[in-house]
Structure 1
Amino acid sequence: MTSIHLDNAAKRFGRATVLNDINLEIEDGEFCVFLGPSGCGKSTLLRMIAGIETLTQGELKIGDQRMNEALPAERRVAMVFQNYALYPHMSVYENMAFGLKQAKTPKDQIVERVGEAARILQIENLLERKPKELSGGQRQRVAIGRAIVRQPAVFLFDEPLSNLDAALRVHMRTEIANLHRKFPEASMIYVTHDQTEAMALADKIVLLRAGDDVITKGSIAQTGSPLELYHRPKNLFVAGFLGSPSMNFLPVTLVAASEDGARVKLDSDEELFVPVSAGHLPIGAKLTLGIRPEHMTPVGEAVTEQVFSRALNAVENFGEYSFLYLSESTDAPMIAKVSDETEVSLRGAIKFQIRPELCHLFDEAGDALTHLNPAPKSISFDATAL
């Protein structure tokens, strides 16, 4: 059993609350990513599971065993740190074998486990080298290998790729995904502030927020699959955190509501329809409309439904796509992400069409109104059939 259960967990340092009211279930073999801005308590939550930090309140279970009082060595977890934490005077083999020697594992088992981990990570030719002779990616592989040889029930990764350059981060991200496939029974928890890593790796994302008050500080904003959080955010924080560029937020007024959804008016007097449950709100309610940049489609003058026009202020070209910066009454500019084949001019306005199911509405408290349409789903296929 490698499931992890946190019930009403909290962590305080003196009067400072770091984590508050954490209720979380991570299933056997699940790859869970703790995501959030700096200071939201991601690493602290990971360290509480590892046993490096104690819970101020609440309960932690790994499998069906309570772990609040268990020592780190008794929890069957292995942690990979941001700074590798390798012994500089030891060889790669000695670094990977050190924990097993401390646990008085028989020598033949040590040789077998280190050899198997080195084979999985493709570092068999590095076993006699010292850490100073390795690249950053190789050092991270050694740190992961040191975790593998312990045969843990749970792998814990604390921002393991933050010290690597961009190209190597992409490569190591693939390596970690492959590692999950090679150890399907082990649960994995991965801490990052990089939403790209979270979206690429996670079965489940736990998005934490760092609020200014004791209620929201270090609390879970939303838990779910990457696409669930992306397409159906529960509140403005989740909607704005995921996505690059982030979601556009526009003030709107509710002008009509029915069983099929809501019609809202922008400050520019254009109206859009959004299929959300808004019957409980009064006509005239002030709401926030959310539109992702990639969901804005430039159209011709003949299109009249679900459209609005904006003046173009600037263009950023990135090859396969471009960012269009549009005039808007809010402090932040509206951004559209369009194909590189889209021809634009800085003169005049551009007309955009928005599919209703890709729009979002948020009430005055910042909570999302319930969508009446199902969220878009990822395309699935059987890789073995290729």
Structure 2
Amino acid sequence: MIEQTWRWYGPNDRITLADIKQTGATGIVTALHHVSNGEVWTVEEIQKRKAEVETAGFVWSVVESVPVHEDIKKQSGKWKDYIANYQQSIKNLGQCGIETICYNFMPVLDWSRTNLESSFDDGSLALIYEQKVFAAFDIHILKRPGAVNDYTEKILKEAEVYYKALDDEGKEVLTNTVIKGLPGAEESYTLEQFQAVLNEYKDINDERLRKHLQEFLAAIIPVAEEAGVRMAIHPDDPPWGLLGLPRVVSTLEDAKAVINTINSVSNGVTLCTGSWGAGHFNDLSVMAKELAPRINFAHLRNVKRDNDYNFNEDYLFDGDVDIYEVLKAIVEEEEARKKQGRKDYSIPVRPDHGNQMLGDVGQDNNPGYSLYGRMKGLAEIRGLELGIRRSL
């Protein structure tokens, strides 16, 4: 059976481990959010968090994430020291029996949306991305140099109309929404500081960032192999360029380039159907089958999308991703691993993002990570898996 997991943001998460126990999840996906980016995760701190998780009746299944310091992505500053720290964190996690690490290589922003509380017909709320709204922020609020060259004439006109209709409060809400994707920064960044961070990537294109990623993998994957740890890179969210920043994990070909860099089960991917699925050019049914041997972790959610780079997050069975085919590929891969005699055949899967609904509406939720929407998603994943296994 797949390992049914749940993302928990630690002791400060409004959703407690006791709450999560009632969802049916058996594994926890969490991180040491209090440790500064780039610092070593010590055995002592890892064991403290592990004890919290295990005392509540769970296993700590996946680390999400050990953040990759921006200096590593840029190969600037103390990047070599940060790689050494990352290697040590991998060793320490392996020593503590935590064997899967999700990470990303997205510059600056971990994710991007333009509305965190878009209304559904049923009264629930979901995250959405509209290209014209993002362009309005990029061009008219941030005023990024050269931004107008990154959008079509149609989007430029729509963005101008949208911006002119915004009042001061609307501009502030949009700015804070975009900046939410900054890991750990949120509203504490000014627009000037944000632009300064973007400027640090002005000479780094996709090709150069890919080279930096390959060199990072060369440094960490042998360490992960020795520690018995499986790395799982997360795709770009969304899977296209934003704000002039490079992207290197947006397509199937990108993912293959990552896993072909070093041929090892420790060098795998996080199959995130929502992030890759936001791109109309990605077929998740195909991606799941082709990447199956290197799927070390999976996030399941659905999206409705169009060809103009707009998408909204949706219920598990209602979007444009064929979740049945995706989960079937995961189940079949697990069966293949069993036949190979692998002890690590069970793939951890979590419900990724859920609509704010019922008692979650109006609560202090991490964007996408409310209780009831994800509980609904986990129940649907569980039922679908049972049906697939009975049909094999």
TM-score, normalised relative to structure 2: 0.29
More RCO (CA 8 Å, sep 6+): 2
Q: Larger Cα Rg: Structure 1 or Structure 2?
A: 1
Give the structure with the larger helix fraction.
2
TM-score, normalised relative to structure 1: 0.29
